[in-house]
C-alpha cells in the first residue's frame, strides 16, 4: 500500500464510516483504535492500513480524531512514540470530538508548539451520516489550513461550515446538541402524554411531521428507532449526558442561566443513576415516566 495521506483514530460508530468513506474516495487511509477487533475489521479494506497515531504523525498525514473527547487525544500525544514526539512537518489534526472549547484551545496551543496545525471540526449527522459520507462539520482554527483540506473533507461531509478561531466548532456543536437533546426529550414527553390520552404514538409523529412541531427527533429518531422498536440510535446515554454537562458549564461560565439545558441535563443524570450509561439512548423513551419520577 502507498504512504497514507489520512489517518483516522477511533473506529466506533462514527469512525468506521468515516474511514471507509475516505478509502472509497481513493485516499490511502491509516486507522487506529484501542480495540484490536475494531482495527482488524477495517484492515481487510485494500485501501486501509493499521498504524498507531505516532506513526501517522511521523508520516505527516492529515489526522482525524473520532474519539470521545480531549483526554483521549491527549493520551495519544505523549511519550516517545506519541504524536508530539514524532510529528513530521505539515502534520494536520482535525478534532471531530464533542469537547469543551477551552480544553480544545489548550490542546491546540500545545500542538502548535510542535508545529502541528490543529482544528476542531465537530460533527453532526450521527452514525448514519458517517456511513453515508453526508456529515455536517463545524470547523474552527486556521482558515487557510481548512481550505487546503476541504477537498479531502468532502469525502465524508456534505456541509462544511468554517466558524472562526479554534474552539468555534466545538462551541457550536454544544449549542447544537443542547437543542437536539432537549427536543428529543420533549418529543418523548409529548409521546407519553399522547399515549395516556389514548392517542397512537405513530399518529402523533405523523401529525408533527407535517406541522410546526416537526424536528429531527420526529422525522428520524422516532420512526427509525422507537416506532420501529429497533432501539438502535447508535449513541449511548453517556454521550448525551456528557454533552449536556459541558453545555451547562459553558453557559454558566458565560454568566448565563441555562434553564432548559439544566432540565435536560438533570433528566440524563437520573438515567445515568439508573445504570443506563451504556444503553442506546432511544431506550429512554421506554422508561421516560420512571426516570422523570425518580427523586
CATH number at residue 221: 1.10.1040.10
| Residue that is last in its domain, among 165, 187, 212 | 165
Question: Do 21 and 124 fall into the same domain?
Answer: yes
- In sequence order, the β-bridge partners of residue 63 are 7, 93
pLDDT at 1 over 60: no
pLDDT at 58 over 60: yes
Question: Do 123 and 193 fall into the same domain?
Answer: no
72: Cβ–Cβ under 8 A, 6 or more apart, which residues? 10, 65, 97
Question: Do 185 and 239 fall into the same domain?
Answer: yes
Task: Read off the pLDDT of residues 77-94 as tens digits, 9 standing for 90 and up.
Answer: 999 999 999 999 989 999
Do the beta carbons of residue 13 and residue 127 sit within 8 Å? yes
**Among all chains, which residue has been given the C-alpha cell 501517522?**
56
Mean pLDDT over 5-28 rounds to 96
Domain extent, residue 210, equals 171-293
pLDDT recorded at residue 71: 95
Task: Read off the pLDDT of residues 101-137 as tens digits, 9 standing for 90 and up.
Answer: 999 999 999 999 999 999 999 999 999 999 999 999 9
Question: Do 16 and 157 fall into the same domain?
Answer: yes
Question: Do 74 and 154 fall into the same domain?
Answer: yes
Residue of 134, 139, 183 lying closest to 163 (CA atoms): 139
| Domain assignment of residue 1, yes or no | no
Contacts of range 161-165, beta carbons closer than 8 Å, 24 or more positions apart = 161/136, 161/137, 163/138, 163/139, 164/140, 165/140, 165/141
pLDDT recorded at residue 2: 73
Pairing of β 117-124 and β 92-95:
parallel
| Domain assignment of residue 17, yes or no | yes
Question: Do 158 and 181 fall into the same domain?
Answer: no
Q: What one-character-per-residue DSSP string does 172-204 give? A: HHHHHHHHHHHHHHHHHHHHHHHHHTT--HHHH
Question: Do 269 and 159 fall into the same domain?
Answer: no
Question: Do 98 and 181 fall into the same domain?
Answer: no
**pTM of the shown model:** 0.94
Residue of 65, 62, 60 lying closest to 76 (CA atoms): 65
What is the count of structural domains for the chain?
2
| Residue that is last in its domain, among 116, 138, 165 | 165
pLDDT recorded at residue 295: 67
CATH value at residue 75 = 3.40.50.720
CA angle 172, 174, 180 (to 5 degrees): 105
Question: Do 21 and 130 fall into the same domain?
Answer: yes
68: which 3 cell numbers? Answer: 470521545
| Residue that is last in its domain, among 134, 165, 196 | 165
**Among all chains, which residue has been given the C-alpha cell 479494506?**
45
276: which 3 cell numbers? Answer: 443506563
Question: Do 198 and 284 fall into the same domain?
Answer: yes
Amino acid at each position: 500500500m502507498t504512504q497514507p495521506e489520512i489517518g483516522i483514530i477511533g473506529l466506533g460508530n462514527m469512525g468506521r464510516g468515516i474511514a471507509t468513506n475516505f478509502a472509497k474516495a481513493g485516499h490511502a487511509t491509516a486507522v487506529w483504535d484501542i480495540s484490536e477487533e475494531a482495527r482488524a475489521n477495517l484492515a481487510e479494506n485494500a485501501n486501509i492500513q493499521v498504524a498507531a497515531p505516532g506513526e501517522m504523525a511521523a508520516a505527516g498525514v492529515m489526522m482525524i480524531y473520532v474519539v470521545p473527547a480531549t483526554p483521549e487525544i491527549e493520551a495519544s500525544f505523549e511519550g516517545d512514540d506519541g504524536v508530539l514526539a514524532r510529528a513530521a512537518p505539515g502534520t494536520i489534526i482535525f478534532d471531530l470530538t464533542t469537547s469543551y472549547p477551552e480544553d480544545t484551545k489548550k490542546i491546540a496551543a500545545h500542538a502548535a508548539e510542535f508545529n502541528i496545525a490543529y482544528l476542531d471540526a465537530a460533527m453532526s449527522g450521527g452514525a448514519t451520516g458517517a456511513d453515508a459520507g453526508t456529515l455536517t462539520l463545524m470547523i474552527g482554527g486556521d482558515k487557510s489550513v481548512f481550505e487546503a483540506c476541504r477537498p479531502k473533507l468532502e469525502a465524508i461531509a456534505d456541509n462544511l461550515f468554517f466558524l472562526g478561531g479554534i474552539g468555534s466548532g466545538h462551541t457550536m456543536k454544544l449549542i447544537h446538541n443542547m437543542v437536539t437533546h432537549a427536543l428529543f426529550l420533549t418529543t418523548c414527553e409529548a409521546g407519553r402524554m399522547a399515549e395516556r390520552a389514548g392517542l397512537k404514538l405513530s399518529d402523533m409523529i405523523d401529525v408533527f411531521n407535517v406541522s410546526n412541531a416537526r424536528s429531527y427527533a420526529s422525522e428520524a429518531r422516532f420512526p427509525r428507532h422507537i416506532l420501529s422498536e429497533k432501539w438502535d440510535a447508535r449513541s449511548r446515554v453517556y454521550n448525551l449526558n456528557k454533552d449536556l454537562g459541558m453545555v451547562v458549564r459553558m453557559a454558566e461560565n458565560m454568566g448565563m442561566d441555562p434553564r432548559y439545558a439544566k432540565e435536560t441535563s438533570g433528566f440524563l443524570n437520573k438515567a445515568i443513576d439508573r445504570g443506563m450509561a451504556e444503553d442506546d439512548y432511544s431506550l429512554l423513551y421506554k422508561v421516560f415516566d420512571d426516570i422523570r419520577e425518580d427523586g
